[in-house]
A and B are shown apart, each in its own frame.
Chain A
Amino acid sequence: MTLKQKSQMLALLALSAVSSIAAAIEEGDKAPNIDLPSIYADHPAITTASLEGKTVYVDFWASWCAPCLTSLPLYNDMYNKYKDQGLEIVAINVDNPIEDGLDFLSDTPLDFLIPADPDGEAAELFEVIGMPTSYLIEPDGTVKLVHVGFRQGDIVSIEEAIQASLAGN
C-alpha cells in the first residue's frame, strides 16, 4: 500500500467516525428496551418487562427544557384519567446532575414513573432528536406515535392517540 492510499484510507476512517449517526425511532418501529433506575433512590428500577401489556407513553424531559416543564403537569392529569384503563407514563429525565430534575419534582409532584438517564443511554437508544420527544408505545412494543416538541394544544392530539390505543386493547 502506498503512502497516498494509506492517507486516503485514514481520511475515510476519520470521516466515518465523525458521521456515525444512527436512525431515529419512527412510528411503526419496535421500541427499544428500557432498563433505568428511578430518579427517586427508594423506588424500584423501571424496565420494559415491568411495563408488559400496557400502553406506555415514554417522554424524554429535562429541567432546562421549558416546553417539557409545561407538558409534565398535563401528562399527570392524563395519567390519572387513563391509568385504570392500562396507561403507563414513563417520563425519562436526562438531567445531569439528576438533582436538577429532583428540584423541579419537589415543586411539581408527578404520579407516574420517572427514570433517571443522566448519561443519555436510553436517549441514545431512541435517538432523540429534540427536547421534549415522546413516544406512544402499544402493548406489543410497536411505536404508534412520535411527538417532538410541545406547544399549546398538542395535548389534544396526544390524548386522542392514547384514547385510540387504549380502545384497541
Chain B
Amino acid sequence: MRQLRMSFLLLLCVTLLASCTEVRAWERGYLAREEMAWDPDVLESALNDHIFFSKEASSGGNSAAGGGCGCN
C-alpha cells in the first residue's frame, strides 16, 4: 500500500513537472502585455513605488523595465 501511495505521489509530481514550459524568445511579447503586469495601473504603481522609496529609502525589485525581449 505504501509503495502504491509513493508511486501515486511520484506520478502527481511528474504530471506537475510536465506543465512547466519555457517561454521562448519570440513569445516574450505575451509577457509584455498590459494584462500580464502585477499592477495594471502604471501610474498608481509608480506612485506607490515613490511612496515606498520615500519611507523605506529603498526601491527597485518590484517590476522590470523594457519590452521583455531579454536582450538588454
Contact = CB atoms under 8 A, between A and B. Distances in A.
A131 B69 contact: yes
A128 B26 contact: yes
B25 interface: yes
Contact of B67 (A11, A65, A94, A124): A65
Interface in B28-44: 28-29, 32
B66 to A, nearest CB: 7
Contacts of A23: none
Interface string A133-169: 1000000000000001110000000000000000000
B24 interface: yes
B26 A62 contact: yes
Interface residues of A, number: 36
Nearest to A92: B26
Given A66-B66, A67-B71, A149-B71, A131 B28 contact: yes
B14 to A, nearest CB: 4
A11 B14 contact: yes
Contacts of A62: 26, 29, 69
B47 interface: no
Given A64-B68, A133-B25, 5 more contacts: A14-B18, A62-B69, A67-B69, A128-B26, A130-B25
Interface of A: 3-4, 6-7, 10-11, 14-15, 17-18, 21, 60, 62-68, 94-96, 100, 117, 120, 123-124, 128-133, 148-150
7 contacts: A4-B7, A11-B14, A14-B14, A62-B29, A65-B67, A65-B71, A67-B71
